[in-house]
Structure 1
Amino acid sequence: MPVDPYILLLLGTVGLAALFPARGTGAEVASGASTAAIAFLFFLYGARLSTREALDGLRHWRLHVTVLGCTFVVFPLLGLAARGLVPVFLTQPLYQGLLFLTLVPSTVQSSIAFTSMARGNVPAAICAGSFSSLVGIVATPLLAAALLGSGGAGFSADSVVEIVLQLLVPFVAGQVARRWIGGFVARHKKALGLVDRGSILLVVYTAFSEGMVQGIWHQVSPVRLGGLLAVEAVLLAVMLALTWYGGRALRFGREDRIAIQFAGSKKSLAAGLPMASVLFGAHASLAVLPLMLFHQMQLMVCAVIAKRRARDPLDPPHESVTERAPAAAA
């Protein structure tokens, strides 16, 4: 079961912030650099997303609606249901972070990788992850406004304006600029990927530095972390089961169900961390902790599932459950 090296970098960044948090002028510089990094990150997201690929993917709309429903409807409902676990298993701040986790979009890279490993519908996974990321730029802040606005997590109505300025505007600018810089972005994908990850590390350092200065880490104990891990394990298990057996109930074929399971049960660390920084401010460190733990957990569990799915028998060529049903009716 893989340990994501990037998680180790994130944990190292958290440790650096714990030992040497940014204070005073340093904190102001780090905050300004973090804001610029987030804007540039979403500009690159916009420049990378191919409008033609997105439109082509609309032909498989049932699958994409299913994934979006899992990501932005089922997940948040389970997050709301977890409110009953406060204060026995979770503190209020950890619950707010767990609820925020359920609101962020799905992953793209790991969903594609696991779908390919399991011999699923890779093009569908690509489009589903891209749609989820695109919808999440609007849906996640709106859901946060509705569900976290009165939760005392540092969220305010002004955060919507910040989201528009720091996330949506750069994303749209990237889409507009794609016709001129799309080739450059594609040719330097690896180098720009390092810029992505470096930007997120900066966001994490800034958020956890603010948390250390505010002293909010005294609210977390090993027992509470254990409770959080247990709750997240149940959450992941429920979503993996719902996406797989729900896909069967909706009469999707094996390859489509694999794409639905991996795209519909996972949450994006890359999208969630910058959003949390904008939405929660000084409280972002506790808000992103559940997401960081869930991200590693989903990688480990999905790697095992993908290897098992790779041994499953394939559907008959050019035939799937969704195609057999109309034929039978005819």
Structure 2
Amino acid sequence: MIRRVLAVFEPFILMLLGTVVLASVLPPRGAFAPVASAAATVGIVVLFFLHGAKLSRAALIDGVRQWRLHAAVLAITFLVFPLLGLLLAGALSGPVATGLLFLTLLPSTVQSSIAFTAIARGNVAAAVCSASFSNLLGILATPLLVALLMDQAGAGVSAASVEAIVLHLLLPFAAGHLLRPWIGAWVTRQRRLLSLVDRGSILLVVYTAFGAAVVEGLWRRVSPGDLAVITGLCCLLLTLVLLITLLAGRAMRLRREDAVVLLFCGSKKSLASGVPMAGVLFPAAQVGIVLLPVMIFHQIQLVACAMIARRWGAAADSGTGGEAP
């Protein structure tokens, strides 16, 4: 069991933790701070441009055929999760509460949702479509939900944020997708490049965000007790959503393969989308503390879903997992 848990902590997660430590010890200051911020912005733009180029229109068209499954995933991602976030965020206050609520407004993951679906012997094609739909819709839905649910807390989407969303997220994504006929095949072949941009941009944004928060006194405002509370609430949130997706799959009488998709795509939240979106939606000094719940939840969901996927995959291979989970 210990080996299984440790196996989930891939090098990227260790790099993420190392980046937080680096930002805590050597945050960007003085003339280097705007340089690091500009580099993070460039990374966000390139990231969304490449994701737009990678998105297949054929996958979108094929996915319409499983509309009940995709609608259920989207409903859990953008309706059930936010409702739970509103309830649980009441246990916290300030930017940490904002971060927990922001976590629940994010789209689903892509890579890990598909990977865990494959390990659990689920419908991989449907997982690709559901995760892609969630991320595509999230570019618009997450900022709108932030504006709707966080406005009273002073974290609504301002005119400057709207402009940043359009320039840094929507336009690069649309440009990449429009250029897909010419560069799509090349982008698809450059998996290492896309992975490098994915991870590099996340690490850069995390470094600048946490660095700015550290300069503003992040670790004086967040105590070990606060971290314990955030971790506990993230565990509770994931447990509730896993139960909801499991029961929803049974209530909808989904095939086992599709119920697996609902559980893994519906219960996940994207760090890859959350980090750049937080960098656009929140003030620089607030981004680091807002991202704390997102980073903690991300690691918890990887550990929990990896163990579930391996167990279900083994059951399917042995012939004991033929029915819906």
TM-score after normalising by structure 2: 0.93
Distance 2:160 2:105 in 1: 19
Q: Map of 1:151-190 to 2, 5 A cutoff?
A: 151-153=153-155, 156-190=158-192
Distance 1:40 1:27 in 2: 20
Equivalence for 2:260: 258
Q: Secondary structure at the match of 2:293?
A: helix
Q: Map of 1:66-77 to 2, 5 A cutoff?
A: 66-77=72-83
Q: Secondary structure at the match of 1:24?
A: coil
Equivalence for 2:214: 212
Q: Structure 2: any 5+ residue segments left out of the alignment? A: none
Distance 1:240 1:73 in 2: 15
Equivalence for 1:225: 227
Distance 2:45 2:283 in 1: 16
Deviation at 1:265, TM superposition (A): 0.2
- Decide which of 240, 246, 249 is 2:248's aligned counterpart: 246
- Contact 1:48 / 1:185 at 8 angstroms: preserved in 2? yes
Distance 1:30 1:154 in 2: 25
- Decide which of 61, 68, 71 is 2:67's aligned counterpart: 61
Equivalence for 1:304: 307
RMSD: 1.6
Equivalence for 1:138: 140
Letter aligned with residue 114 of structure 1: F
Deviation at 1:149, TM superposition (A): 2.2
Equivalence for 2:275: 273
Deviation at 1:250, TM superposition (A): 1.2
Cα deviation per residue 1:270-293 (whole Å; 9 max; x = unaligned)? 010000011112210011110000
Cα deviation per residue 1:176-212 (whole Å; 9 max; x = unaligned)? 1111111110111122211221111111111111111
- Contact 1:243 / 1:260 at 8 angstroms: preserved in 2? yes
Letter aligned with residue 276 of structure 2: P
Cα deviation per residue 1:17-74 (whole Å; 9 max; x = unaligned)? 1111111211111111111111111001100000111111111010000000000000
TM-score after normalising by structure 1: 0.92
Cα deviation per residue 1:162-185 (whole Å; 9 max; x = unaligned)? 111110010000001111111110
Distance 1:84 1:208 in 2: 24
Deviation at 1:12, TM superposition (A): 0.8
Letter aligned with residue 139 of structure 1: A
Equivalence for 1:13: 19
Deviation at 1:234, TM superposition (A): 0.7
- Residue 128, structure 1, aligned to residue 130, structure 2: yes
Q: Map of 1:3-152 to 2, 5 A cutoff?
A: 3-85=9-91, 90-152=92-154
Deviation at 1:116, TM superposition (A): 0.8
Letter aligned with residue 7 of structure 1: I
Distance 1:45 1:202 in 2: 18
Letter aligned with residue 65 of structure 2: R
Deviation at 1:94, TM superposition (A): 1.0
Distance 1:64 1:16 in 2: 40
| Aligned structure 1 segments of 4 or more residues deviating by more than 6 angstroms | none
Q: Secondary structure at the match of 2:147?
A: helix
Number of aligned positions between the proteins:
314
Equivalence for 2:194: 192
- Decide which of 293, 302, 311 is 1:290's aligned counterpart: 293
Q: Structure 1: any 5+ residue segments left out of the alignment? A: 321-330
Deviation at 1:153, TM superposition (A): 4.3
Q: Percent identity?
A: 55
- Contact 1:266 / 1:298 at 8 angstroms: preserved in 2? yes
Distance 2:32 2:182 in 1: 36
Letter aligned with residue 61 of structure 2: L
